[in-house]
A and B are shown apart, each in its own frame.
Chain A
Amino acid sequence: MSAVLEIAGLQKTYRSRKGVRKALDGFDMVVEAGQVHGFLGPNGSGKTTTLRTLLGLIRPNGGRMAILGREVPQALPEVAGSVGAIVESPQFFGNFSAQDTLSLLADAGGVPRTRVFEVLELVGLRDRSKDRVKTYSLGMKQRLAVASALLKNPKLLILDEPANGLDPGGIREMRGLMAGLAESGMTVLLSSHILGEIQLICDSVTIIAAGRRVAAGSVAEVLATHASTSLRVRLEAVSDLTSSAAALRDAGAQVVVEPDHLMVSGLAQPSAVTRTLAERGVYVSELSPVTADLESVFLELTGTAPVEGSNRQVDQTVMAQAGGWGR
């Protein structure tokens, strides 16, 4: 499988009166052909900066990028015809209709105007195509943005939060669209915060935090490498939770006490739980393994899990030292 998109050591530094901020700090990413690749990261981690840099809107301070085997931004004019992209929220001139907007883009890009009607049909905007864009809901603008990205029938489709503002039906349609595009051979790079969707749609993911890659690979690999499987333990008597947690910790387990159960990890065998508790006359009513999902891996890797009693700030991640403002 060949790489459609390669990024190595990408750096972007912003200087201001507040000091120097490394938005991208040696970021790496590889997207293989024909994949739907999820690009994940908390707010302010560098996702949009990466996409903008890749698309020539921002100049990097260092690193190497290649799309379809061509170095960018140098070869961007040559490969732009094969890359469809939406970056951040959809932005269009409000007084034009969707049809006008797309036909102007088609003219500018040398795409036949018949393609406009095809993509309007594809994203479900056919019947509203003559309405002015400023009358559209966020979800409809999002559909228009996806339509504009698909207009070129690209080999690489880059979508930044395409499900943003979509209703549940729209999200499901978008999922189907992504799957269909991938089946047709298109490579899709998908940035999203809806991690359940990413887990359902994507073949592989890259997770970024504070401008650096913290995990990459197939979804299964990332889950296997970074997820620690834990056990949910319910007891016959809830009043035994605290003493049982102490006993399990003595046996070497990590225990989180929940209101009506314990979450236990760090033990080689589940039988160690029952043995330890039975020795103290405590009996288990449920012992079930809990498989970590992408969301919990994401929160763990990026250090952005909410902590009770504290308000996490945007740049506050496990790698905050690298990504924050400094002098």
Chain B
Amino acid sequence: MSLYTAETRRLGKRRFTKFLLGGVVLVLIAIAVGMFFANEKNTPATVAAAQAKADSEYQAAVRQSAQDKQTCVAAQGTPDASNWPPSCDDVYQPQTSDFQAAWYMPATFDFREQFPNMITAMAAIVAVAAFVIGASFVGAEWASGGMMNLLLWRPRRLQVLGTKLGALLVALTGLTVLLSAAWTGAFALIAGLRGSLDSMTSGAWQSILLMELRGLAVVLAAGAIGFGLASIGRHTAVAMGVAVGVVVLLQFGLYIVLSMANVGFAEVVLATTWGTAWMNKTATVTDWNSCNFSGNGGCTPDELIVNWPAAGGGLAALLVVVVGIALWTIRSRDIT
């Protein structure tokens, strides 16, 4: 327990941790403030204004349509006739349903519709921070010799690394839970002031909570993977290098190569596909080169559904491999 306490203190004392978390909080505040000012609550006045705008647009379209029909009739028997339908009755006639007031309403924050995307955004930002904090937490210790010093005090390698990882994950859990609560509260407030919470049923809240738990899992996995990679390489830069390599090679390089080779479902190599599948329960990958022709639907491309158990399984496998190798290396390698 004393080692766990010491490692928790060490993590909290690190200036890098404080600066990074400060940056994360500032970014999240900026997003929340931006969403606040980008949305407006629907009032009878805004609804009336939108309806007036829709009506006005409809009337303008009607006038344009009448003018087009006259031009079409006048063009009959002239070379310009080719620019018009064979029958001038086929000239577009606007319908009132084409000009709905809802389309002219100012943006409003519908909590049920839009907050899930906010959860994903927050999970992604905190996960990146967790990866860097995890990598730096153990990488700086290896590089500075602090880890060797610690092992002179506690010559149980697996216990030391495991306790460090445990302290990191517990701290990340606390941080993510706090941020999630603040994030939910902030957007509930934004929805109350600049949108709507009306459609939030208990089931919807439960769904939000489950999504936040999946976000927490992403944050913890990112932290543990960053920690594991830095421990394997005994330097923070190794984890950063692997991350950059994966982004450049897999996210850009491999995807571009597969796309150029017209390989189907190339998007399946993108981490965003798997991240979306995990957070939103499913993600659809489309093979734009395929064509399933039907008389009424035309060409319909093939689709591949990636679901959350597959995405979660992939994430868990990556986690087990990285942390497993980190534990194996600290157990078996000389510390020089």
Contact = CB atoms under 8 A, between A and B. Distances in A.
Contact of B6 (A56, A80, A104): A104
Interface residues of A, number: 29
Contacts of B146: 91-93
B15 A56 contact: no
Contact residues on B (Cβ < 8 Å of other chain), bracket: 20 to 34
B336 A58 contact: yes
B154 A109 contact: yes
A57 B149 contact: no
Interface string B240-259: 00000000000000000000
Interface string B1-25: 0110111011001111000000000
B9 A93 contact: no
A59 B334 contact: yes
Q: Which of A59, A73, A107: most chain B CB closer than 10 A? A: A107
A27 to B, nearest CB: 17
Nearest to B146: A93
Given A73-B155, A105-B150, A95 B336 contact: no
A265 interface: no
Interface stretch (B36-44, B98-106, B137-145, B174-182): B137-145
Contacts of B148: 57, 87, 91
A148 B149 contact: yes
A105 B336 contact: no
Contacts of B145: 90-92
Contacts of B155: 55-56, 73, 76-77, 80
Contacts of A90: 145
Contact of B334 (A58, A85, A96): A58
A96 B140 CA distance: 12
A95 B6 contact: no
B260 interface: no
B63 interface: no
Contacts of B293: none
B45 interface: no
A108 B15 contact: no
A62 to B, nearest CB: 15
A107 B335 contact: no
Interface in A71-114: 73, 76-77, 80, 83, 85, 87, 90-96, 100, 104-105, 107-110
A175 interface: no
A91 B149 contact: yes
A57 B156 contact: no
Nearest to A134: B144
B152 A104 contact: no
B335 A52 contact: yes
Contact of A108 (B16, B144, B154): B154
B151 interface: yes
Nearest to A14: B334
Given A55-B152, A76-B155, A93 B2 contact: no
B230 to A, nearest CB: 14
Contacts of B151: 56-57
Given A58-B336, A80-B153, A80-B154, A107 B2 contact: yes
Contacts of B140: 93
B153 A108 contact: yes
B149 A105 contact: yes
A110 B10 contact: no
B199 to A, nearest CB: 49
Contacts of A87: 148, 152
B282 to A, nearest CB: 45
Contacts of B334: 52, 57-59
Contacts of A110: 2
Contact of A95 (B2, B14, B150, B153): B14
A95 B335 contact: no
A227 B153 CA distance: 40
A83 B151 CA distance: 12
A108 B5 CA distance: 8
Contacts of A107: 2-3, 5-6, 9
Nearest to B5: A107
Given A52-B336, A57-B336, A58-B334, A91 B144 contact: yes
Interface in A107-135: 107-110
B6 to A, nearest CB: 4
A105 B153 contact: yes
A4 B14 CA distance: 38
Contacts of B336: 52, 57-58
A152 B152 CA distance: 11
Given A105-B149, A108-B154, 8 more contacts: A58-B335, A77-B156, A80-B155, A91-B149, A95-B16, A105-B150, A108-B3, A108-B6
19 contacts: A57-B148, A57-B334, A58-B336, A77-B156, A80-B152, A80-B155, A87-B152, A91-B145, A92-B146, A93-B141, A100-B13, A104-B10, A104-B13, A105-B6, A105-B149, A107-B3, A108-B153, A109-B154, A110-B2
